Amino acid sequence: MSASSIATEGVAAPPRRSPTALSVGLARAEVETKQFFRDREAVVFIFTFPLILMFIFGSVFSGAIAPGVSFRQYFVAGMIASGLMTSGFQNLAISVPVERDNGTLKRLVGTPMPRSSYFIGKIALILATTVGQLTLLIVLGHLLFGLDLPSDGGRWVTFVWLVLLGSAAMTMLGIAFSSIVRNGKSAPAVVSPVAIVLQFISGVFFQYDQLPSWMQHVAALFPLKWLTQGMRSVFLPDSFQGKEPAHSWEHGRIALVLAAWALAGLLVAVRTFRWQREAR
């Protein structure tokens, strides 16, 4: 017997480290992503539907709304903001009730997986789909509808924090809203009208400054209005901020509103999230 084997004999192997909630969540994200791209309806809804709207509105309305700004440019900026709502709020508010109904959530709770890992997986999926959707909207908007890309580093920085804060707000609100939906079958009928109304009053489909004042006040209560305003500050010239209600981009206020909605959504989600459907 060699000296090395004698030295190591009887030495126990180091214990295996238990996987962390983050590592399990990232593994869950891989599963979520594969399931998402196998669901044709979900892929069409997230990626194709916003592009169809962009093509329709961008083809019908093409006039100038301000010096150096066409309605197409205005609309594409709004659709980029709306894409965050589609990927985060609508996606989760519809998919989570479906998973609750078909027993997916109940089965996951019965495994050793930390509950936080489920949400980490969802957040990672939302970030991935958001990046893909925004890339398509920006590239096609630039090539087909004359959307100007940010001209300096400051605008790109603004774009990044808008995407991060906007995704956080929409993701938390989507999870929170999923508890309001009674079952998976009714989820699209409950969630879609909310999203459509917000798009109409928040300056996505129409110029915000041309909406009735009462409608502007209502829209200002919700995050989509502030996201659209923020995206206009990224993709439209600074001269257009005179068309905004405060005649300014209001970046500080935008960040505050989005952060407040993200926190509110998180608090509501923590208190109301259900892993099993209600007994009938």
pLDDT in tens, 90-138: 999 999 999 999 888 889 888 888 888 999 999 999 999 999 999 999 9
pLDDT at 248 over 60: yes
Rg (CA), the chain: 23
Mean pLDDT computed over 150-164: 94
pLDDT, residue 223, reads 96
pLDDT, residue 178, reads 93
**Domain housing 88:** 20-272
- Residue 38 forms part of a structural domain: yes
Residues 79, 85: Cα–Cα separation, whole Å? 10
Residue that has been written with the tokens 């041309």 in this structure: 210
Model confidence band, residue 14 (pLDDT cutoffs 50, 70, 90): low
Question: Is-contact 219 199, C-beta < 8 A?
Answer: no
Evaluate if pTM is beyond 0.85.
Answer: yes
- Residue 2 forms part of a structural domain: no
Q: Which residues contact 41 (CB under 8 A, 6 or more apart)?
A: none
For the stretch 131-134, contacts whose Cβ atoms lie closer than 8 Å and that sit 24 or more positions apart, written own/partner, are 132/47, 133/46, 133/47, 133/50, 133/83, 133/86, 133/87, 134/80, 134/83, 134/84, 134/163
Domain count, the chain: 1
pLDDT at 25 over 80: yes
% pLDDT > 70, the chain:
94
Model confidence band, residue 280 (pLDDT cutoffs 50, 70, 90): low
The Cα-based distances of 272 to 31, 140, 206, 276 in angstroms read 25, 39, 35, 12
Quote the DSSP letter at residue 48: I
Model confidence band, residue 13 (pLDDT cutoffs 50, 70, 90): low
- Residue 71 forms part of a structural domain: yes
How many CB atoms are closer than 10 A to CB 175?
Answer: 24
pLDDT, residue 257, reads 97
Which one, of 144, 184, 177, 148, lies nearest residue 41 by Cα?
184
Backbone angles phi, psi at 65, to 5 degrees: -115, -10
- Residue 9 forms part of a structural domain: no
Residues 97, 229: Cα–Cα separation, whole Å? 31
Model confidence band, residue 48 (pLDDT cutoffs 50, 70, 90): confident
Question: Is-contact 148 63, C-beta < 8 A?
Answer: no
- Residue 11 forms part of a structural domain: no
- Residue 179 forms part of a structural domain: yes
Model confidence band, residue 11 (pLDDT cutoffs 50, 70, 90): low
Model confidence band, residue 2 (pLDDT cutoffs 50, 70, 90): low
Residues 12, 31: Cα–Cα separation, whole Å? 35
- Residue 187 forms part of a structural domain: yes
* DSSP H or E segment with residue 70: strand 69-70
- Residue 279 forms part of a structural domain: no
| Residue 37 or residue 167, greater confidence | 167
pLDDT at 155 over 60: yes
Residues 262, 240: Cα–Cα separation, whole Å? 28
Average confidence score pLDDT of the chain: 88
Quote the DSSP letter at residue 90: I
Strand partners, 69: 66
Which one, of 132, 131, 121, 129, lies nearest residue 31 by Cα?
121
